[in-house]
Amino acid sequence: MSLKFSAAHSSRIKKPTKPPAFKRHSSSASPYSSLPRRKPLQRSTTKPEQADDEDEDLFGDRLDDIGLVKALATDLTLRDVAQAISHIRDKMWSRIPERRAGMNSTRIAEVLNFRASLPPIVTVSHVQALLNSPTAVEREIAELTRGGAIRKVVVGGRGSLGEALILARDLDNMVLKSVLDEELKQKFITLLHKHPTALKLPRSQLSDEEAKMLVHAGFLTSSTSPWTATDVFSRPGDGSRGTMTSLNSISKAASGSLAAVGGEGAVHAAGGSGGGVTLPSTGDYTLALPTTGPFLKLLSSSRAHLLSLLSKSKFREAPESLLRQRWDGGIEANDAASSARQNRDEFGVLPGRTRKWKQFYGITFEWILEECCGAGFLEVFNTGSIGRGVRAL
C-alpha cells in the first residue's frame, strides 16, 4: 500500500474551490457578491389600484336572514307618539367632540347655528319605524292632534316630505320667537288652538296685511296670493296696477337706494310671481313652518349618501356595525385600541374631516337609518350570528 493513500481521496468531502469571503484580501469585496443577480420586478401600470378598505366587500355571500325587525326602537320606555317625537329629536345630532374635533371655533358655531335654525319636526314614517303597529300609530296621531298635543303639517313641493309632526308647544315657541308683532303672535296662536286638526286656515280669519306678514315669516303659504310682484312698485292713484305709468315714483328715486328697487322687502313681497294682474282673494292659507327647505335638503342628501354606502356591498346588504363604521367615516372609537393609539400620539381620521360632519352637520347613524327604513328605502333583519343586517330595497 502506498503511503500517500488517505481517506480524503475516497470520501465525499470536497473543499471549496474558492476561498471564503472573509479570507479575501480585497477590501471592496462584498459577502453578497457571489449571489445571483435578479432584475427588479416591474409592476404593470395598467393594473387598477386596490380599492380602499371601506370599499372592499368583506362578505362574499349573502347574510343569514332569520326575520325582519318590526320595531327599530331599543328604548323600552317609548310607549306613545309624543315620547317617540321627543326621542327622535333628541338623538338626531351627535355631540361635538370636546377634543380632536377637527373643526375650528367658526365651524363649530356654524354647525350649532344650523342645527338651531331647523324646525323641530319629524316625519310620520319615522315614528312608524320606531313603534310596532302603524295602524295604532295613525290612530294615536289622530287622537293627539284632536287633543291639541301635536300638530300635523303637510310638506310638499320639490323633495316632498309628506306629513310631518311637531309638538304643539314647539310650534308655539317658534311663533313667539319670530319677528312678528306681539298682537299678531297671540292671534295666530289662538287661531292654531282653535283649529287643532286643520291643515289649512280660513282666509276670512286673517286680514291681507296679517296674512302677508305670516307668509313672509314662513308660517303660511298660499297658491292664490292677493298681491303680486307689481304691487311692490305700484301705489294707489298712480294709474292702473302693473303698467309702466305706475313706475314714475320709483324712477325718481336716487340710484343705488332701496327706494329705486321697490323698498325693503321687495323680493319677499313679490312672492316669485311675475303676473301683472291682481289675483282674486280665493282659497285658504296652508300651514307651513319656517326653514323647512334646508331640512328637506339635508334629509334627501343624507338618505342618498347612506344608500350609496350600502351599494358598495355586493348584494346591497351589510351588517349594521359595518354600515355604521362607513357612515362615521372610520373615526377613532372609544375602545382600548383607540386609547392605546392616542397614548402613542397616533390619531386616525378626525370627525371634522368626514362627510358626516362636513356635509350633514353630525347626523347620527341611528337617526338616518330609522328615517330610511320608515321611508321604505331599507329594511333591517336579524342575522343570528353577527347582529342585525341592513338591506336596500
User: How many residues are listed for the chain in this entry?
Assistant: 393
- pLDDT tier, 243 (very low <50, low <70, confident <90, very high otherwise): very low
pLDDT (mean) for 254-278: 50
Separation in Å, CA 255 to CA 156, 252, 260, 369: 40, 9, 6, 54
C-alpha cell at 261: 328697487
Give the CA count within 13 Å in the CB-facing half-sphere of 362: 22
Residue 216: count other Cβ atoms within 10 Å of its Cβ. 16
Q: pLDDT by residue (tens digit) across 10-46?
A: 555 555 555 555 444 544 455 555 656 665 555 544 4
Which residues neighbour 306 within 8 Å (Cβ) at sequence distance 6 or greater? 323, 327, 368, 369, 372, 378
Highest mean predicted confidence (pLDDT) among 54-58, 215-219, 255-259: 215-219
Q: Domain map of the chain by residue range?
A: 56-69+313-392
> Which tops the pLDDT comparison, 18 or 199?
199
383 confidence band (pLDDT: 50, 70, 90): confident
Q: Name the 3-class secondary structure at 382.
A: strand
User: Hey, what's the cell of 63?
Assistant: 347574510
Selection from 123, 86, 4, 179 nearest residue 375 by Cα: 123
pLDDT on residue 268: 46
What's the pLDDT tens digit per position in 268-316? 444 444 444 334 445 788 899 999 889 999 999 999 999 999 988 888 8
Q: What is d(CA 209, CA 203) in angstroms, rounded to the nearest whole number? A: 12
> Residue 119 pLDDT more than 90?
yes
* Nearest-5° Cα angle at 286, 280 to 288: 135
Average pLDDT over residues 115-125: 93
DSSP string, 346-359: ---B-GGGSHHHHT
Spacing of C-alpha 167 from chain mean position: 22
Contact 283, 224 (CB under 8 A): yes
Tell me the pLDDT band of 331, cut-offs 50, 70 and 90: low
Contact assessment for residue 332 and residue 338, using Cβ atoms and an 8 Å cutoff: yes
Higher pLDDT: 329 or 256? It is 329
Q: What angle do CA 311, 317, 318 make, to 5 degrees?
A: 105
Residue 338 — pLDDT band, cuts 50, 70, 90? low
Beta bridge partners of 140: none
Q: DSSP letters of 236-296?
A: TTSSSTTSGGGGHHHHTSPTTSGGGGTSTTHHHHHTT---SSPPP--SPEEE--TTHHHHH
CB 319 within 8 A of CB 299: no
Place of cell 377613532: 332
Average pLDDT over residues 375-382: 89
Q: Reply yes or no on whether the pLDDT at 5 is more than 60.
A: no
